[in-house]
Amino acid sequence: PNEPGAAVLRYKGSKHFRQRVVCSVLSGRAIRIDDIRPFPTTTDYQEEVQMGIMGHEAAFLRLVDKLTNGTQVEINETGTTLRFKPGYVTGGRESHDCGTSRSLGWFIEGLLPLALFSKTPFNLTLSGITNDDVDLSVDALKAVTLPLLKHFGVAEEGGLELKVKRRGAPPGGGGLVEFRCPIVRELKPIDFTEPGLIKRIRGNAYCTKVSPQIANRVAESSRGLLNRLLPDVWVHTDHHAGRTGGESPGFALSLVAESTTGVLLVAETAADKGTLPEDLGNFGSKLILEEIKNGGCVDSSHQSLAMLLMVLCPEDVSRLRIGKLTRYSVTYLRHLRDFFGAYFRLKPDPQTSTVLVSCQGIGFKNLSRGAT
Amino acid sequence: AAERFLQRKSQNVNLQDLVYGRPGRGGQDNAAKEGEDSASEEEGGDQEQDDDFFTIRGGGNKGSKRRGHSSSGGGDAESEDDDDDEDGGGGVGGGDRSKFYPDREALDDWEGTGDDCAIEAIRNKFVTGDWGSGAGANGAGGGGAGDG
């Protein structure tokens, strides 16, 4: 599937932009996306019309361009058509301003698979928003996403790291993180089907440029419901002010449930304008209960990443138990089929209302990594 | 119990068909499902199949069936529904977010108390739950096994 000569894949619309670009780089297949937020045919001109690719998408393309060699990007004048011919991932030390339209989680989550199959390890300094309510926050990445990679045999010798230097809440951003990721020759297939029992819940309530009491109130209220089920609930509080606090005030909560078999489930929520800390904490605890109810060995936010990595495994079968298949994962599965020719077997398990997904890896190897 | 049975039955729809298309629709789909090894042969046909796919997605039979499935699952992916209506506005979500974000309204009533409240239903997923109850960790999802 890695032949550069294969036909260009064509897509329409702005959806799943990041998936497509990342799959394109990994598979070496060029893509063309048309009608990215085209000029609307029916509109009252009252509302602001957003056309073409948006700030974060452009920033993502620039970042991918920095980290690869030989990538060709063509965008038409209105920004509604993108032609993308992927190059090879070279990695290295880069710093990049990710802007403020999407948080750093969106960028790092997208880059992770590229980082693993790079020529040299990624060493990135990224600035932007660290916590928002749209994407995975840096706390979730640190607590759940990076440990997930370990199941695939990544970072047994270390070097996987995400350091939060400065927090940045929307809309101003101003956060700063350092992201380091080791490279692999190939991944290890997973057999990750035993969810186990939840043994503890850890959390992180952060606040920036507001009273430190807010984080305490969030942490306190998030424990209420959870303590009915489990005594071992600990929510860390993290207050930032001044230079490490970014540009805007904000606070957020991220909760991680840990099971006896090493399953990590994350749920998180961030404050909007006027959110009460108590409500935030309470809502966060409901979200994590929701994840626990769904079951599975990865939470809904990590289904897609796990599936992508399963496809990139050696030619052996990987098995994974997930809760409910999310909408996002369904499109991801279709993209994996388009780019890699990979089909998953999806077997619902009505007894536990989970789904067993399995697929055969395509035998993906990191060809650009130097011999060691 | 009858309700639960129905829910399980509705979840038993063939997920594979929902994701990759129904087998009856075209020869290619069939071939693809039967053997992964035939993947190389259908390389040529791939493109065509995709176009097919993208016109269907979003509306019609398939979409509604999928939606039916997810709502029958109870309080889940419904909010990810920006799949269809996103192109014009280009909201923040942009359809490109992996983060799970259920509707506030669709959440279970976790505040409830009593023997059959939402919290009791998942109690056996915790180490503090009832370990001995037959299906154990796996069975707890159904919420049936617990005897208090």
- For A26-82, how does the pLDDT look when each residue is reduced to its tens digit (9 = 90+)? 999 999 999 998 877 765 666 667 788 999 999 999 999 999 999 999 999 989 999
Q: What's the pLDDT at B133?
A: 54
**Residue B61: is its pLDDT beyond 50?**
no
**Count, residues in chain B:** 148
Lowest mean pLDDT, pick from A194-208, A209-223, A277-291, B84-98: B84-98
Q: How many CB pairs under 8 A join A and B?
A: 202
Lowest-pLDDT range of A137-151, A306-320, A325-339, B52-66: B52-66
Selected residue with higher pLDDT from A150 and B100: A150
Angle (deg, nearest 10), helices B27-34 and B43-56: 120
Q: Is the pLDDT confidence value at B16 over 70?
A: yes
Per the DSSP assignment, residues forming a β-bridge with A83 are: A32, A74
pLDDT value for A43: 58
Q: Give percent above pLDDT 70 in chain A.
A: 94
What is the pLDDT, as a whole number, of residue B30?
Answer: 37
Q: What value does the mean pLDDT take over residues B85-110?
A: 61
Structure tokens at A322: 């997930």
Compare A181 and B106 and report the one with higher pLDDT: A181
pLDDT tens, residue by residue, A261-270: 999 999 999 9
* Rounded alpha-carbon distances, angstroms, from residue B142 to A94, A266, B33, B48, B138: 48, 21, 30, 42, 8
pLDDT digits (tens, 9 = 90+) for A147-197: 999 999 997 767 899 999 999 999 999 999 999 999 999 999 999 999 999
pLDDT value of position B2: 67
Provide the phi-psi class of A346: left if phi over 0, else alpha when psi is between -120 and 50, else beta.
beta
CA distance B130 to B126: 8
Angle between helices A327-340 and A17-27 (to 10 degrees): 30
Cα(A147)–Cα(A319) distance, integer angstroms: 18
Look at A284 and B62; give whichever has higher pLDDT: A284
CB nearest B99 (choices: A47, A134, A285)? A134
More confident residue, A132 or B108: A132
The whole-number average pLDDT for the span A143-150 is 94
* A207-230 pLDDT per residue, tens: 999 999 999 999 999 998 999 999
Q: Are A188 and A150 in contact (CB under 8 A)?
A: no
Tell me, what's the ipTM?
0.74
| Confidence band of B76 (pLDDT split at 50, 70, 90) | very low
User: Which chain B residue is nearest to residue A302, measuring alpha carbons?
Assistant: B98
Query: Of the ranges A136-140, A312-316, B135-139, which one carries the lowest mean pLDDT score?
Result: B135-139
The per-residue pLDDT for A368 is 73
Tally DSSP H helices, then E strands, for chain B.
Answer: 7, 0
Note whether A351 contacts B126, CB cutoff 8 Å: no
Q: Which two tokens stand for residue A356?
A: 């067993």
Assess whether pLDDT exceeds 70 at residue A254: yes
Any idea what DSSP says for residue A344?
-
Q: Strands A31-34 and A82-85, how do they pair?
A: antiparallel
Chain A residues with CB under 8 Å of B125 CB are 195, 197-198, 292-293, 295
Using a CB-CB cut-off of 8 Å, the residues of chain B touching A21 are none
B100/A290 Cα distance (integer angstroms): 10
Residue of A nearest to B128 (CA): A230
Among candidates A340, B9, A172, which has minimal Cα distance to A359?
A340
Cβ B138–A198 below 8 Å, yes or no? no
In this prediction, residue B117 carries a pLDDT of: 81
Average pLDDT over residues B105-123: 79
pLDDT value at residue A286? 92
Mean pLDDT of the region B122-145 = 60
> A286: how many CB neighbours lie within 10 A of its CB?
23
pLDDT in the model for residue B102: 72
Using CA coordinates, name the residue in chain B closest to A20. Answer: B96
Give pLDDT, residue A110: 94
Cross-strand bridge partners of residue A360: A317
Confidence band of B148 (pLDDT split at 50, 70, 90): very low
Backbone angles phi, psi at A243, to 5 degrees: -65, -35
**Residue B35: pLDDT above 80?**
no
Residue A311 and residue A22 in contact, taking contact as beta carbons nearer than 8 Å: no
3-state SS class at A33: strand
Pick the range with the lowest mean pLDDT from A118-127, B63-72, B120-129: B63-72
Among A367, A357, A258, smallest CA distance to A308 is for A357
Higher pLDDT, A302 or B87: A302
Look over chain B and give the mean of its residue pLDDT values, rounded to a whole number.
Answer: 52
Q: For residue A227, give how far its alpha carbon lies from the nearest alpha carbon of chain B (Å).
A: 11
Nearest CB to A286 within list B32, B73, B110 = B110
Listed range (A141-155, A202-216, B59-73, B130-144) with the worst mean pLDDT: B59-73
- pLDDT higher than 70, residue A333: yes
Q: Is B73 on the interface with A (CB under 8 A)?
A: yes
Asked if A352 and B137 count as a contact pair (C-beta separation under 8 A), the reply is: no
Interaxial angle between packed helices A104-116 and A303-311, expressed in degrees from 0 to 180 and rounded to the nearest 10: 20
Chain mean pLDDT for chain A: 91
Span B49-66, average pLDDT: 35
